[in-house]
Chains A and B, each alone.
Chain A
Amino acid sequence: MVGSSSLLSKLTRYTVLSLILGVMIFPMLWMFRVSLMPAGSISGIASLSNLTITFVNFADLFATGNMLRPLINSVLIGVVVTLGNIFFCFMVAYSLARFRTRLNKILIASVLLVVMIPAHVIIIPLYILCVEAGIYDTYWALILPWLVNPIGIFLVKQYIESVPPSLEEAARIDGASELSIIFRIVMPVCKPALAVLAIQVFFTNWNSFLFPYILTLSDSLRTLPVALALFQGHQAVDWQHLMAGSSLAVLPVLALFLFLQRHIVSGITAGAIKQ
């Protein structure tokens, strides 16, 4: 290990790492760059030399209301679905972790089954179901089917199993009711797992496209990804506005990611190690 050779290997490593870094973040930077460009044609590398910056594209999006409603919808649905998942996944996970009934065994199998089912298999029947139940093209179609997700149940169940049952027994001796034990004592203990769950659910929901797209029709119900995908289909939408809309969809995720990185990473690796 001579100094110069280790310096050299360090240098190569950082060069390689930075090159990859460039490839990985360039498209995102390009999106932001285009979103701040004034109207006119953009073409490849040539337009990089143009340093003008304008926020007019964003202003337009809000002025025409094209993106405001979808933004509100995405936030609203994201929050409701995330809260629902925190609450319901916890309930179900507690039941599966703490009670050993025969039904629970079947339920665990059903959770596993749904984890393995490719979700797109049910688009047609889910569509029919929503049409016939009259929730097609309403907020319900974007919320009800997604309030409990099987991976979330697993995540929380795993966590509850690591919590010693003595915790509840102590409370039981104190005479607390079963439900208050579950929600007042066990739930707060599970905060770390619920945080990971919340982030995952919110991200998935925020980015989800196919189901929100096929289960709604009205422009007033569009979520951000759906509005963006359909935006380009309309006439006279230029890249600047499209990229401004895209930036709107990315910025909240980016901000959350920077703050909550550790939880996100641990959520993903937790899921992986289970296997």
Chain B
Amino acid sequence: MKQSRKTALLLASPWILTFLIFWAIPLVHSLIIGFTDYQLLKGSEWIGLANYKELLSDQSFLDSLSNTFIFVLGTIPVTTIISLGLALLVNRNFKGRALFRSAYFLPSITSMVVIALIFANLYERGGYVATLAAMIGFTPPEHGFLFDSSTALYSIMAMDVWMSVGYYMLIFLAGLKAIPDELYEAAEIAGASRIRQFFSITLPLLQPVALFILVINSIKSFQVFIEIFVMTSGKFETSTIVYFIYETGLRTDFRLGYASAAAYLLFLIIGGFSLIQFALMRRKQPLW
């Protein structure tokens, strides 16, 4: 018995070490330095809640916060609906199905940096998107989509939706596969229309999968950073919370304490969001 406990511990040790050194300690550490004015070159002193107070009155933090919320609340519904649509479209049996699925999924395994670079080019003044926009009678912003406060964030959001729909499509497909065929057969016999079947069988049974998608997508979207870094450097009203953390903590003047406090606020926001979603998941009766 003792022997087996030793073995268990030995086998689990890589995780124990990783968890302690790279997760638990940093998490506690960042909570602590969030209460100090720790700054490289300057040292650190305990300042209590001053960082948090300053954050809540720091306009650039508040802007980053609201941009992040626009990003999250704007992309998630659109991504979810489109990916569900795609899943329904490629769920049926037809020739070439695998090809379409893979092609739709392709952007999600591509490096975000690469995609951001490609779109930075497509969004340029006189670039592809501008030409297309002009064709359908929409005047593109004069200096390109990313050099304009009224379009920059939305352009990045559109790219993000484009990139991630394939991934969530696959998850929806797995969910669709799990719905027993008998249910549809029974509905067919009862004379229910396709649309009726969708609303009374498919949607309710997909609810757990949809909630799962909401959770992982919002954890991911709240941390949006790479596309901002590559495409706009946080300019043109596109700065997000993680970009703010990067900028204040690791770029401008290395205010690590202040940046840690911002990171903890982000942590709390994401935690709160996830808790709400978990609560929804646990409900017995369907939401819709």
Contact = CB atoms under 8 A, between A and B. Distances in A.
B12 A103 contact: yes
Contact of A242 (B117, B256, B263): B117
A272 B89 CA distance: 20
Contacts of B212: 272, 275
Q: Is the interface of B mostly helix, strand, loop or mixed?
A: helix
Contacts of A246: 111, 113-114, 117-118
B279 to A, nearest CB: 14
Contact of A243 (B111, B121, B219, B249): B121
A273 interface: yes
B250 A214 contact: yes
A96 B230 CA distance: 40
Nearest to A43: B126
Contact of A269 (B22, B173, B274): B173
Given A91-B12, A96-B12, A125-B260, A17 B89 contact: yes
Interface stretch (A54-62, A75-83, A112-120, A188-196): A112-120
B69 interface: no
A232 to B, nearest CB: 7
A171 interface: no
B193 interface: no
A148 B30 contact: no
Q: Is the interface of A mostly helix, strand, loop or mixed?
A: helix
Contacts of A34: 121
A271 to B, nearest CB: 8
A25 B178 CA distance: 29
A159 interface: no
B246 A253 contact: no
B19 interface: yes
Interface stretch (B56-64, B99-107, B196-204): B99-107
Nearest to A253: B109
B209 A120 contact: no
A145 interface: yes
B280 interface: no
A232 B170 contact: no
B47 interface: no
A147 interface: yes
Most-contacted residue by chain A among B9, B119, B259 (CB, 10 A) = B9
Interface string A33-67: 01000000011110000000000000000000000
Contact of B246 (A25, A214, A261): A214
Contacts of A122: 22-23, 26-27, 30, 263
Given A17-B89, A128-B256, A250 B110 contact: yes
A228 B174 contact: no
Given A24-B104, A124-B263, A147 B113 contact: no
B30 A225 contact: no
Contact of A30 (B26, B102, B122, B242): B122
B263 A92 contact: no
Given A20-B104, A24-B103, A88 B26 contact: no
Contacts of B259: 124
A110 to B, nearest CB: 5
A95 interface: yes
A214 B242 CA distance: 13
B111 A249 contact: yes
B100 A253 contact: no
Contacts of B270: 118
Instruction: Pick the 6 closest A-B CB pairs, nearest first.
Output: A125-B26, A95-B11, A269-B174, A99-B8, A88-B14, A207-B111
6 contacts: A23-B162, A121-B263, A122-B263, A147-B18, A269-B170, A275-B208
